[in-house]
Structure 1
Amino acid sequence: MTPAWLWRWRRNPVRRHSDVVEAWIVSVIWAFALLGGVLAGVVAAQGTDSALAARRAHVHPVSAVLDDDAARTPPAGAGNDNGRVWAAVRWTGGDGAVHKGLAKIFPGAPVCSRLTVWTDRTGRIVSAPADGTEATLQAVLTGALVAPFTGATVWAGGRLIRSRLLRRRLAEWDEEWKRIGPEWRNLSGGKG
């Protein structure tokens, strides 16, 4: 016995051509939703990983010196910045020029403390690039978010196609009933 959910595939006298078409559409949509979602997730994860690797290639760590005492406590309402505060730092670039800027450091560091800051090719301080576990986590999370969104988008497109098929099938049934309905009324003696 064929399971009920495979009714469109079974041979039976009331199965229409549109039922078979719908069965194929459902199968193809599910395949595209699953495979497309997985493929989009993998591509997104690889793209994120490549972008993070490119960023790591364009920034580099520099040893800097704290120019002033860091605030003892972070300002109220500083948000979730691990309790760090802004402080003035200086460093010598690869060209021998002294650069100055602001960097986030933990409160209470004394003047002339050494710290590592990240700079871009122009010598501006930038945030540290994601590497190792953090980069892997970002790539995986990006893929994990893109995959179901892509699958759901394909599935929604399939639902739209199926709803149009349903409207067409109902219109066909309506036309057929208009043709057959009067014959039934004649057979039943004009009742109904």
Structure 2
Amino acid sequence: MTGTTPGRVVGGPFWRWRRNPLRRHSDVVEAWVVLAVWTVTLVGGLLAGWWAGATVDHTFAERRAALHVVSAELTENAESGTPVVAGYDAGKVWVTVRWTASDGSAHTGLAKAVPTATIGSRLQVWVDRGERVAAAPTSRSEATLDAVAAAALVAPLAATAVWGAGWGLRGRLMRRRLAEWDAEWRQIGPQWRNFSGGKG
């Protein structure tokens, strides 16, 4: 027996891409939508993850570039300072320190020191471009971990959002195709029943 069987006409995952009498315009549109969704989901997710990671890494790099370390001298004994009660430095105390900037100007500020530190002892302090005491910047290794974590979080979220939007669009195409089939059946159905009845 020659000819193409109905199963071969519409069978297989790529039947919407092949010419056949059962393929509709909406089938072609859906095929392109599915291809676009898969492409944007994969590529867009990767790009979104890369962008998020690069943004986080750039932010930390900018902060590191805006700070520098100075050697500061305690102007009081640490035992008379204010205790740090929260965070990783709990147990240390706030003390007044002074340092000389690269231009020779003198500056003072509050820094964290161990309770046993005495007046005149020195410690490393991070300061910004305005010679104000600042928190230590995130290290390169920590920044890398944070960037990777951001990428790992954003990539699947972006991919899921694209996939959800594509699935919604595909659902609309499916409803439209069912409506077209229903309209055509209302026209062809009575003729088919009449033909079958007359043949019997």
What amino acid maps onto 2:29 in structure 1? V
Aligned residue number for residue 103 of structure 1: 111
TM-score by length of 2: 0.74
* Post-superposition CA distance 1:29-72 (Å, at most 9, x none): 11111111112222332333233222222211011123341569
User: 5+ residue gaps in structure 2?
Assistant: 1-6
Aligned residue number for residue 66 of structure 2: 58
* Distance (whole Å) between structure 1 residues aligned to residue 15 and residue 116 of structure 2: 73
User: 5+ residue gaps in structure 1?
Assistant: none
Match for residue 170 of structure 1 among 166, 170, 178:
178
TM-score by length of 1: 0.77
Structure number with higher helix proportion: 2
Contact 1:8/1:23 (8 A) holds in 2: no
Contact 1:66/1:110 (8 A) holds in 2: yes
Contact 2:49/2:153 (8 A) holds in 1: yes
Contact 1:92/1:98 (8 A) holds in 2: yes
Between structure 1 and structure 2, the one with the greater Rg is 2
Contact 2:99/2:107 (8 A) holds in 1: yes
Deviates more, 1:36-45 or 1:5-14: 5-14
Ranges of 4+ aligned residues in structure 1 off by more than 6 Å:
none
Aligned residue number for residue 150 of structure 1: 158
What amino acid maps onto 1:154 in structure 2? V
Identity of aligned residues (%): 50
Cα RMSD after superposing both structures: 3.1
1:148 deviates by 1.7
